[in-house]
Structure 1
């Protein structure tokens, strides 16, 4: 691949890396796992800022947060003992179901979140667990809900103005019951027809609150607010799951403008959501 790279930089901190990126602006590219760099590199890029050696590979929990460093590989999440027990192990499951083993060993949390292609597996599960993202512009850190990071205007600033430092999941979600499912050609296919993640906070056999997230169907992972509203305060039952399925299908049909090409994905999304909810209710 022909390029105009003149130098490689190895900053000692996220702050230093972000400051350098902002100084060089469009003439620099930030590299973590390198999966994106292997596919495309703009002619204007003369400097590669390599983040690989930064101390951002942690998976740890305190009283307020589960903290996942931006440089953790997807494979490391899959194998984490802490994540295997968090919210029914849904983060580890999402990591293990993403693409192939080579991609999982190279791809990072920061890249999967900040370049949130509709088929990436982590944005839906982090969105379902109310995650926030810590970013740095070299001067100060900024904490934003993941939903804001996924907005196109903000996403354009990741890798140009901000660097992702870590993803934080509220400690309260540790005991939530969660489940995920996806429909793809094969288990290791990166692209999927649809994917669904649900997370339920249960109390005395009823739904105190719920998160229902769909990936792949829309341009970015999206919470299904109508399905969540149907579930709130309802018993953890098959009937509640079916009501949420109907609400989700109606909402997705509206969001896709009733496009015929999306009709199958909308229908399957509802089925997956129902199955995930039944699993979460029983978990």
Structure 2
């Protein structure tokens, strides 16, 4: 006789389907801690099945709020991403493929296709540990939240550094700026994820980076971020600041490695310790910078 992996409750949650953010927030206030706002629900489901979080009495589905699923670019080149947009839909969008390849690449590294067809961009961010976050950080993403009456935008970096989002707020948008290239500079981007196996696995370490080099191969702009596991992803702001104006060199790469190893706030779990995660994050980022250095042909760049 088979035994179920988990015991389903006798009474399943009631599912509410508001058609506006205002209605969703009202329902959340009405049911309080007995209700959870949900979109794709892929992350929440794993928590319920593993006993990490109790199954709530009420599920407030945001899927019928059409305004939260859009994708557009404004006259200023700002990409507006609806938080309910599914990962698979973002990956298939020609605009994102042309204007935001880094985020498309990050989506492709998450879970299996069946999960990407359900999981939402906003849901990945709301977890505060999602694998999309390092890529969004280096792209200087902005998150917009509403309390049902007013919306407020804040940089993703500040949002992560602040208190956990109120359960009575709804994320209504994520914006990512596009950058026009003049031809006098070269921009390089990378996204890497390390897990316990090649695919369909939670991340141990996830890193992303964006470097902009001038014709003389000095660094005009740099953004690097790391996360993975239970760590809240973060940018290395101080490290970025001291590299601006410097040429890529062996000495700079060594400094980056040391700074990342020391600055990454990794979190240990049953699969990997803090030291391993720090070392891996530093190795991944510096390896990508080394490839850029090697292609750049600087004075002390390696020839092979």
Q: Report the TM range for the smaller structure's normalisation.
A: 0.7 to 0.9
Q: Does 1:183 align with 2:194?
A: yes
Aligned residue pairs: how many?
273
Structure 1 unaligned blocks of 5 or more: none
Q: Of residues 122, 125, 136 in structure 2, which corresponds to 1:110?
A: 122
Change (3 A) 1:241 1:78: farther
Query: Higher relative contact order at CA 8 Å, sep ≥6: structure 1 or structure 2?
Result: 1
Distance 1:178 1:238, change over 3 A: farther
CA RMSD of aligned residues (A): 2.8
Normalised by the length of structure 2, the TM-score is 0.79
Residues 204-215 of structure 1: pairs in structure 2 closer than 5 A: 204=215, 205-215=217-227
- Report the secondary structure of 1:99's partner residue: coil
Structure 2 match to 1:128: 138
Per-residue displacement from partner, 1:172-206 (whole Å, max 9, x unpaired)?
38895311112222232432221210112333332
TM-aligned CA distance change 1:134 to 1:33, over 3 Å:
same
Larger Rg: 2
Specify which structure has the higher proportion of helix. 1
- Give the counterpart of 2:212 among 166, 190, 201: 201
Give 2:88's aligned residue: 75
TM-score with structure 1 setting the length: 0.84
Distance 1:104 1:177 in 2: 26
Per the TM alignment, residue 125 of structure 1 is displaced from its structure 2 partner at its CA by 0.7
- Correspondences of 1:10-25 after superposition (within 5 Å): 10-25=17-32
Measured in 1, the distance between the counterparts of 2:20 and 2:158 equals 25
- CA 1:94–1:6: 2 relative to 1, 3 Å: closer
- 1:228 alignment counterpart: 240
3-state SS of paired residue (1:246): helix
